Structure 1
Amino acid sequence: MSGRIAVGVDGSEESAAAVDWAADEAALRGAELRLVNASLWQEHAVVAVRPARDVRAQRARDLLAAMKERARARQGGVTTSEEEVEDAPATVLVSASADSELVVLGSYGLGASVGFTAGSVGQEVAAQAHGPVVLVRGTRADPGGRVVVGVDLRSAGEELLRFAFEFAARRSAPLRVVHTWHLTPVHHALHPHEEESTEAARTALSEAVRPHRERFPQLEVEEEAAVGRAAGHLVEAAAGAGIVVVGRRTTARRGHLGATAHAVIHHAPCPVAVVPHT
């Protein structure tokens, strides 16, 4: 890794919030902040005249300059760089993820009654990036709020737990580790007593978390093992949280997020980190 955080900039309120969030994270990590503007002109029936290349380039430079000033006003000690590429945003951000510790981009919401929609670019980047991706809403999140991470003990992924513990440690924030499972008829047949099954899950969760607890003994860590759908538990736990961390298996087909990650990035009211893991 290069000690760099890449953030997508497109002029929206959500991308401005992403710049704020990324600047704070870069300051905590001592990383460079790379502001990326990517625009591939899309023909539209309503648009009769396509702006000239130099006009589009100037608009991009102006936007990047404004976001650079915003980042410096927020975190004066952070080193910044800018890049303007005329290509599809998802393509450029996935490429940027190859030499970045983190990719950050804004996502838009449709209101609490409807839920949180990540947008096609956010979903595509989260599903294909080489490293962790954080999706930030336009609404302000509590930067010191608890960190929530969902783990599947069948493939917990060291990368996922490591990201969550390190993220919490940088902020001295409490961490909540959530594991859930769904009771199927086969499960009932093998484990007729739910209490025994729950206790076994709690033991397995503690074993998975133990090495990370030992590495960060100062952290306040809560472990939750519960029956139910993972997405529902994680969205509920996200209320008041600073971030929710979910995984994406790198062994899955390319571009596939998984049902839990997909649901969380659409409905969690706080930033969501999607971490690829083996």
Structure 2
Amino acid sequence: MKSALLKAFLTTLAVIVFCELVCSAGLWWMGSEITLFPLIMTAVLPALTVFPIALFSFVQNHRLKVTLRELKLAHQQLQAKSRIDDMTGLLNRGSFFEAMKISRSRVETGAALAIDADRFKSINDTYGHAIGDRALKIIAFALQNVTRKGDIVGRIGGEEFCIFLPGASRETALRLAERVRAEVENTPLYTAANQVHPLTISIGCAVAFKHESNSQVLSRADKCLYRAKQRGRNCVVYDDGDEPTAYHLHPRQTEGNERDALGS
């Protein structure tokens, strides 16, 4: 408002000065005596007309600028929200695949991790969706906490997550996958007062070759994830494309509970 008042005052002053000069020049041209009355009237009339109009214009212009800024901010927030999963703060499915495609166009290789919460349906059925949501947030936090700058992390649906590691070698991918697995396992999931439910994840990892599409890479990662479930969950299974499958198991895992792997 102060800015609008100042601009209106300066505009009015400029108009008054201009009118005074024109009036004085006119009187001088006609050979008339320059008296105070015409000069006063020349100043008063613009002051009474120009100032209100200028003030109104500048105030409306200021309001329009504020509205445009708010609309731009809202548009940016809406765009960001359309890319982000509300619950976890990670990229949503569409945004993850788009970011992965762009990233893969800039690097020669990398690795994709397909991640799934173990026995998530049981957690939801036993403790309710609020605790299930808490479990998903724990997993999302672990992914964000462990991944490197430039890694792409997303929630692609339900209890399923994906990570793309640009330029990652087999050893880097396995090391990061194991860190993610351990981070989730070591984070307590509180279900009630002083009650902790074990929370683990299974991870399928596949190298991303340049000639493969996103779907092909993630398909191999999903197959490794399925094998991780078969081998007892809470482990990492890696496929580098040269061998059928390379297993990287958590030391405490056994194959004794393969029979219920389909329960996820």
TM tier relative to shorter chain: under 0.3
Higher strand share: 1
Which is greater in Rg? 2
Q: Please give the TM-score of this superposition, normalised by the length of structure 2.
A: 0.23
Higher helix share: 2
